[in-house]
Amino acid sequence: MAGPTVPPDAPAEGGRTRGGIRQRLPNSRQPSPPPWRVEGVGDGQGHKPKQRSSWARFGLLLAVLLIINWIVSSLLLGPASRETVSYTFFWTQVNANNVQDITSTGDTIQGDFKKQVAYPTGSTNPTQVVRFTTQRPTFANDGLFQKLQANGVQVNAKSPDQAAPLWEQVLVGFGPTLLFVGLLVWFWRRSSAGGGLGGLGGIGRSKAKLYQRDDARRTTFEDVAGIDEVENEVMEIVDFLRDPDRYRRLGAQIPRGVLLSGPPGTGKTLLARAVAGEADVPFFSMSASEFIEMIVGVGASRVRDLFDQAKKVAPSIIFIDELDAIGRARGGSQVIGGHDEREQTLNQILTEMDGFTGYEGVVVLAATNRAEILDPALLRPGRFDRRVTVSPPDQAGRQKILEVHARSVPLAGDVNLERIAAATPGMVGADLKNLVNEAALLAARRGHDEVTASDFSNAVEKVVLGTVRGIVLSPEDRERTAYHEAGHALLGMLTPGADPVRKVSIIPRGQALGVTFQAPQTDRYGYSVKYLRGRIVGALGGRAAEELTYGDMTTGAESDLDQVSGIARQMVGRWGMSEAIGPVSVLPPPGQESPLGLDGVAPATKELVDREVRRIVEECYAEALSTLREHPDQLNRLARTLLERETLDEDEAYKAAGIGHETTPVDLAK
């Protein structure tokens, strides 16, 4: 017979059920659970699971080692064996003066021959004897002692085979084992229990640095500028760790990991340092390359130790810089013969971030420049839940970054950071920091009390155009360089939609004998076919000017041809800007080419790509020649002005070419 029916909402034993699932009621007598729990590290109240002691096994191993050591030492310290010879043979050797020393105890005589002799034993091979023992007959009356004295034989009073002193026996019998055990215990005491190799001098121990807050030198979010959207993503992690209850009330869970990807110098590591400065939780920082060692298994051991340290002080943050050093996709052609050390380390990271035991309150920040080569298992939700791209800043972002880095630099009244930001398209945070530092160095070298606009202008030239080379060109090379740069500049001025010419110089800088600098007025994020062909035409202007002026060509266009070939090949093979190839991508992105050429592209397609690249370059070169033929006077005036003044800024270049100029100049010295 069925019992009484209990309504689903009726309370039972201090709790209640809803929908068949029992729910606990608040109880002031029960301790509230801690905000962070780490599975496998205790019950959250400081109680850790008991572990079986290994002292018994250690004692047994020590006893076995001592016994083996004693047996081996007994064999080493014991006297060497002696060959028993007849008294007649001994007497013969005495008469031959071949006895070195003897010891006699009763009728037993022991000693050593001076040189090895053969003792016949009745077999085909006689025994070679040096150490001997014999028995003197009791009836012998041969004057042995007088004979030995006459031959100068030493007669000893104690046995040469007596045992070594007790201290020597103990030292040799137990010393090596005790020394080995002592060193082992010393290594164990100096290292933490961080992984299977943690006891061997700490080789398997994590090398992560624990960030210590220093209010005088710490980095905060005020030091991060130009990447506001990324800053907000990371700031949410810090806020969650500070006040988890505000998010938990709504059922939100903290992301396990945040991957910061982007070009070098965009501020990924700086952002991690800002997190360390803002967070009131332990912050562990480590480079991915520090996990890998020559010894197999060390990387996985260091990963375990790092996460164990972070779990014990949860909530905490782990930062892994340059994650691609160990996070490459597995199963590639670079791995031959199964697991290698890098793959074992990666597998351990995957397990620690979302393994069987799990963890709570440990957030992993990672930075990489090559997110496209990371293993897919790293990027799935549950490990790196968020992938944040840190892109190069726009003009407003560059201005904010310049303001951050110029806070400790005394600026003159003529310095306009907005104009500097406009003149530095494509620069990232690290470039701008270097630019401010170069300007300050120039100002100090010139004896200025403040950094002026002229210092910034020269710093931009040094960073963008290169350092001035102290070489003297011959008049012929100098004139040819002037026409070469004039060709670049004139085509940049005449080609519709091209970037304005900002500076032209025939002063050798870096690897170039001359430089023409063009920069857009606003940041560009997409490029049209017309704009790219204009870039190719402008890059071929130097070679075209040399051909029109001198009737031949030089090696000065080497870098121009590299740039032209790269743009044209990407237009055809990646961006679908060729009718012959069509809107398909047949070439891998730069840096991702297959080392064996196994890219899945048919040879005929590659030949077609080459023909299209050649066609585009030849058409652009013909356009460059045609344009310069139509404006010979402007080319000559610009070249002669360059020969006179060596360097022309934006307004001076357009004025020398006789071309109207309506763009806003960005010369920092004006």
Distances in Å between the alpha carbon of 42 and those of 32, 39, 198, 318, 544?
Answer: 16, 7, 21, 21, 76
Model confidence at 11, in pLDDT bands (50, 70, 90)? Answer: very low
Structure tokens at 167: 């201290």
Q: What is the pLDDT of residue 442?
A: 92
Q: What per-residue string of b and e applies to 80-116 under the rule 16 or more CB within 10 Å gives b?
A: eebeebebeebbebbeeebbeebbbeeeebbbbbeee
Q: What is the pLDDT of residue 29?
A: 44
Q: What is the pLDDT of residues 528-560, one digit of tens each?
A: 999 999 999 999 999 999 999 998 888 888 888
Q: Which amino acid is at 226?
A: G
Model confidence at 638, in pLDDT bands (50, 70, 90)? Answer: very high
Q: What is the pLDDT of residue 17?
A: 39
Of 67, 72, 84, nearest in space to 132 by CA: 84
CA-CA distance, 615 to 142, in Å (whole number)? 120
Q: What is the pLDDT of residues 318-340, one digit of tens each?
A: 888 888 888 888 765 444 443 57
What fold does the segment set 83-156 form as a domain? 3.30.720
What mean pLDDT is predicted for residues 343-371?
78
Catalytic residues: 485
Model confidence at 94, in pLDDT bands (50, 70, 90)? Answer: confident
Q: What is the pLDDT of residue 6?
A: 39
Which residues are paired to 113 by β-bridges? 99
User: What does the chain come to in residues?
Assistant: 670
CA-CA distance, 362 to 237, in Å (whole number)? 11
What fold does the segment set 395-465 form as a domain? Helicase, Ruva Protein; domain 3 (1.10.8)
- Domain positions in the chain are 83-156, 209-389, 395-465, 475-590+601-657
Instruction: Work out the mean pLDDT of the chain and round it to a whole number.
Output: 77
Q: Decide: 439 and 455 in contact? Cβ < 8 Å.
A: yes
CA-CA distance, 422 to 521, in Å (whole number)? 7
Strands 11-12 and 15-18: antiparallel
Of 222, 253, 215, 217, nearest in space to 237 by CA: 253
Yes or no: domain 209-389 corresponds to CATH 3.30.1360.120: no
What fold does the segment set 475-590+601-657 form as a domain? Methane Monooxygenase Hydroxylase; Chain G, domain 1 (1.20.58)
Q: What is the pLDDT of residue 26?
A: 42
CA-CA distance, 99 to 111, in Å (whole number)? 8
Task: Say which DSSP state 285 is in.
Answer: E
Q: What is the pLDDT of residue 625?
A: 93
Residues 6+ apart with CB under 8 A from 606: 586
Q: Cβ-count burial of 302 within 10 angstroms (0-12 exposed, 13-18 middle, 19+ buried)?
A: buried
Q: What is the pLDDT of residues 51-85, one digit of tens each?
A: 445 567 767 777 777 777 777 666 665 566 777 88
Distances in Å between the alpha carbon of 659 and those of 492, 493, 537, 589?
Answer: 11, 8, 18, 39
Q: What is the pLDDT of residues 176-226, one digit of tens each?
A: 777 777 777 766 665 544 444 444 445 555 556 676 665 556 777 888 888
Q: How many CA atoms does the CB half-sphere of 482 hold within 13 Å?
A: 23
Q: Token match 């191993």: residue?
A: 61
